[in-house]
Every structure is written in structure tokens, then in C-alpha cells.
A and B are shown apart, each in its own frame.
Chain A
Amino acid sequence: MKVLILIGNVPDTTTKVKFNASRTAFDTAGVQWIINPWDELALTRALEVKEANAGAIESITVANVGRAETEATLRKALAIGADKAIRIDADPVDAFTVASLLAPHCKEYDLIFAGVEASDYNGNAVGPMLAEMLDIPSIAGVSGFNVENGRPVFTREIDGGSQIVEAPLPVLAIVQKGIAKEPRIPAMRGIMMARTKPLQVVQPAAAEARTRYAAFDLPPAKAACKKFGEEQARELIHALRNEAKVL
């Protein structure tokens, strides 16, 4: 099985979010960039399965759409253990353009992982759009992955429960929390090896955006917390009923 993992390059999850003066774009000054958390978990799980089942996974490739500055994120994925990386040299304008630019480079893979969403614009669209463009099945809400008798088996979360699901290849899995416990930290050996692993830069085809952001706002400031003493649980519960009217 040849595995492809879509890698989002996103601001560190502790980033204090700011926008430019006209509120039309995210202010990237001083921002640390990381692998989108769910993509990183998918990579971790793919590596665990590759190591545990000799021959089940032939190779793991990571891919993203981004300019040269996103290569640090791809190199980190290589340092964690991916075999090769592809960067499509374009700005990720919207989910539709990203999926369109990725599609021509995804046809040789048996299994594609996409994180459920990106932690910046929370779009949850690139993976399923790509699956539609490739006309392959997709499985949403994947929280577990294994290979049994050479076939991939997924656990997915549905409203009110979970299911074990098998799918024919090729298939795209939309991955969420649970697929792996902790993301891997690159070891020194991995970092050294990553320098020699192939990182292929490809020129983008044309793709037209279907959405854009007209503006951004920060959420309105909250009123101060109304504090009660440790012995005043009853008073607090009464305030929830009579003042906040939520009980």
C-alpha cells in the first residue's frame, strides 16, 4: 500500500490570533508554524502501522500546497518518518484550489489521509473535495486505523456511536482525534536523515477559488467572571436559573 498524507501548515495552537489593520488577513508576524495537529496524528498512526506490519505499507508520502516557507513543516514530517515529500508551489487560497492542485499528484496512492479540518480556518474540506475529484470513496470521522490481512480497517465515529468499516482501495480517510495517542517527536537521527530524503517541488496547474474571506473579527470581550465562595454552590445554581436563565 502506498500512503499519502495531506499536511497542513498552520499556526501553533497557542498563537494569539491577530489580523491586519483592515481586518482582511491573518497577521503572520512572529507566528510559529506547525503540522496541522490531525495530519500529524495521521502520520504517526501510519508510521506505527508500517512498523508493526512488515510490508503492509510500502511508503509514506506527505504533500502540501504552499510556498517555500512551508518546507520546514514538510521537513519535520520527513524527520518524524515520512519517506518523501511533495510541495505544490502555490498559495493555498481556498479549499477548492488546494484540492484541485493536489488532485493530479494523488492518483498513484492507495490510501490517502486528510485531517478532519485545519486548525486555522477550520474548513474540513480539502480531503473530501480531493476524494470527489479522484472519484474514490471517503470515510469520515476516522478515529482508528489498522491493516488486517493486507486490508485497511477503520474505526469511525458516527452520531450516537462508532463503527468498524472496511473499504476497497483506493480510499481517502478523514482523520480525527483518537487515531494516534501522541504525535511523534523527531529524533536526532530522523532530523539528519530528513535532509537527504526527497522533497519534490512541483509547479501548480490553474485553479480558481470559490470562496474568500471578506473580513475577520475578534470575538467580543467578555464581562468579568462573577465569583462565588466555595460554600455558595446553591447561590450560583440559583443565579444560573434566575439571572442567566440557562437552567
Chain B
Amino acid sequence: MSVIAYIPNQEGIIKKAGFELASYATALAENMGKEAIAVVLGPMAGDELEKLGKYGISKVMHDANPLFAQLDNRASAKALATAAAQAEVVVLAHNNEGKGVAPRLAVRLGAGYVSAVTGLPQSITPFLVNKVVFTGKAIGHAEILTAKKVLTLAYNSFGVHEKPVDVSVEAFDSGCSASDFVLNVQQTQKVTGKVLLSEAEIVVSGGRGMKSPENWKPIEELAELLGAATACSRPVSDEGWRPHSEHVGQTGKIIAPNLYFAFGISGAIQHLGGVSGSKVIVAVNKDPEAPIFEAADYGIVGDALKVLPEFIEAVKELKKG
């Protein structure tokens, strides 16, 4: 029996979320007295797979079939079910691919499924693990009643932990043939040069208090200085000032960075739901009564447009040392 981590990749490259997942699987396997194995689907670049050894993964099962790049949930679930025939727990990333594949895999394996877990299980027997419910307004202690378990891990909830071991990479035949891949990807548009919002450690976000889309320059500048992702509140994406992919909140993305800057965001309950997992929240808002200050750790009552350039200067000074 083993703990299996399905490591996501972007065109053959493993990102931070993949190493976080490897770290989690390693720690979980250790708690359970099992082996941590990684499964990777699709062609991989250079020595990417060996990198998993740095995070405690001793064995990588790799099916390099290029058709996996289509992200066909049914085919991926079938492949993982083959790899996980002997596994007790399978862990996936809580990204769109993981959300699409994990429940399918659970049905295939006869396993119980809990999504977006925020840490290691409180107990293995019974299998109890925490997850966010009511979009951050509460924590649920979810119990899986079946022998096999499938989990997705919420981003930034466990962290990346090094634990170097010798790693063996083995080719494995998942049993998927061309007829298993039925989605037809016509076009791909990449977001380049930007930090992925869901896995960003720092997020700089703007709300209606930014007044117009033309005022977003300093938000982008501050984000770039900090190596941060940019985000926005719901009215901003509804107005079309910023793309939907940047909307954080109950109906947008749920994020948990180390540091979240909210400029001109009043903090509606739905917005707070999506960002309350942030370790530190900094709010800048004109209205001293804005609910964002109840959720924030640090704040300035003031005009976001005036404070932003000051922040940029202060960060530049800090960087100079």
C-alpha cells in the first residue's frame, strides 16, 4: 500500500504546487508508515522528474503519452486508477485539472473524496481531515468512510518542504490508448510573464476604490516589485476592468497567499470568504468602517491611489537594503 501524489505539470515543467503536493504526500506517507509515490502524465522536460526526489518522493511512475496534454479528465482518471490500484490514498492538486479528475478517480477506485484539504489528517483511523467550508466562513472536519481515499490539497496550505531521497523514475503503461482521448483542443492562450494567482505567495488586489481601470498601473508595478500576482474584487471583474481570472472571492478564486494587499476593497462577506485563508492581510481603504479592516492584520485608512506610490517607494528602498 502507498500514498500516491498526482503531480501536475505545465508543458513538462513542475511548478511550486507540484512540489507542495510531493511534500504533502511524503509527510502523509510517513504518518501512515507507507511509501510516497508520484505519478506524472505527459511528456516531461529534462530532469524535471528527478527534482521530486528533493521532496521525499522515492519512486516516480511516468506515462509520457503526449495525448495527456489534452487534459482529458476521463483518460487521466483511468490512468491514475491503474497507477493507484494498490494505493491507500491518492492526492491531487486543487487546480482545475485536479478538481475535474479527483472525483472521477474516487468513483473508479470506490474511494471517498474530500476536496481542498488544508493539512495532514488529524487522525488516520478514522480518517479525519480538515477542509474549508462555507467558503472560508468555517472549517469542516471531514471523515472518509472507505478504505481508499482521494484528496485534493488546497494551494499554499502545506508549504514546500525539502527531504532529499534517492529517486527512481519508472516508465509505466497507464493503459490509455488514442481512443481514450476525445477532447479536441483547438486553441491555447497562455498568460505569460505573470505569477499564477492560485499559487502566488503575495497577491496585490484592487477594488472599486481604484476608481477606473487606468489606475491599475501602480497595482501592477507593486506586484512586479514583490514577485506577486494581481487580483481584483467582484465588481471590478463584472465591470470588465480586469479579467474574470483575477476575481478573488466566493464566486471567483479562493486563495491563501502569505500576504494579501487589498487596495480600495471594502470587504463584502463574499470577498472575505475567498481571501480569509491569507496569512497576513493589508487593507487600504478610505472608509474606516469598511469590513475589510475587521479581517485585516494591518491597515491604512486612506486613499489607495495616494498610498500605492508610497508603498512602491518603500518597497524599492527595502530592496536596495
Contact = CB atoms under 8 A, between A and B. Distances in A.
Interface of A: 11, 13-17, 19, 26, 37-38, 95-96, 99, 116-117, 119-129, 131-133, 135-141, 143, 153, 156-168, 174, 176-178, 181-182, 209-219, 222-223, 225-234, 236-241, 244, 246-247
18 contacts: A17-B134, A17-B137, A96-B112, A96-B113, A116-B99, A127-B103, A129-B107, A132-B77, A137-B74, A159-B10, A167-B184, A214-B128, A215-B140, A225-B298, A227-B300, A236-B314, A237-B315, A237-B318
B133 A161 contact: no
Contact of B133 (A120, A166, A181): A120
A140 B280 contact: no
Contacts of B142: 211-214
Contacts of B137: 16-17, 218-219
Nearest to B13: A160
Contacts of B157: none
B167 to A, nearest CB: 23
Nearest to B93: A159
A216 B143 CA distance: 12
Contacts of A126: 103
Contacts of B302: 229-230
A117 B115 contact: yes
Contacts of B191: 160-161
Given A14-B270, A125-B103, A247-B259, A182 B238 contact: yes
Contact of B74 (A120, A138, A215): A138
B141 A225 contact: no
A99 B237 CA distance: 32
B156 interface: no
A174 B198 CA distance: 18
Q: Kindly state the interface size class of chain B when it binds its partner.
A: 35 or more
A228 B299 CA distance: 6
A139 B73 contact: yes
Contact of B143 (A168, A212, A229): A212
B186 A164 contact: yes
A230 B307 contact: yes
B95 interface: yes
B299 A227 contact: yes
Q: Is the interface of A mostly helix, strand, loop or mixed?
A: mixed
B296 A225 contact: yes
A131 B104 contact: yes
Contacts of A181: 238
Interface stretch (B39-47, B168-176, B205-213, B245-253): B245-253
B226 interface: yes
A210 B145 contact: yes
Interface in B126-147: 126, 128, 131-146
B244 interface: yes
Nearest to B311: A233
Contacts of A120: 133-134
Given A14-B269, A131-B73, A143-B245, 19 more contacts: A13-B273, A126-B103, A128-B104, A129-B107, A133-B107, A137-B74, A161-B190, A163-B186, A165-B184, A178-B244, A213-B141, A216-B133, A225-B299, A231-B310, A233-B313, A234-B314, A236-B282, A236-B300, A246-B258
Query: Which of B8, B183, B191, B310 has the most chain A CB within a 10 Å cutoff?
Result: B183
Contacts of B132: 122
Contacts of B74: 131-132, 135-138
A239 B318 CA distance: 12
Given A225-B298, A233-B311, A236-B282, A140 B100 contact: yes
Interface string B100-118: 1111101110011111100
A218 B141 CA distance: 11
Contacts of B136: 219
Contacts of A99: 103, 107
In the A-B complex, the 4 residue pairs with the smallest Cβ-Cβ separation, listed nearest first, are A140-B100, A141-B96, A233-B310, A230-B302
A173 to B, nearest CB: 10
B309 to A, nearest CB: 9
Nearest to A208: B145
B276 interface: yes
A132 B81 CA distance: 12
A216 B139 contact: yes
A159 B302 CA distance: 35
B141 A38 contact: no
Contacts of A227: 293, 298-301
Contact of A125 (B115, B186, B226): B115
A216 to B, nearest CB: 5
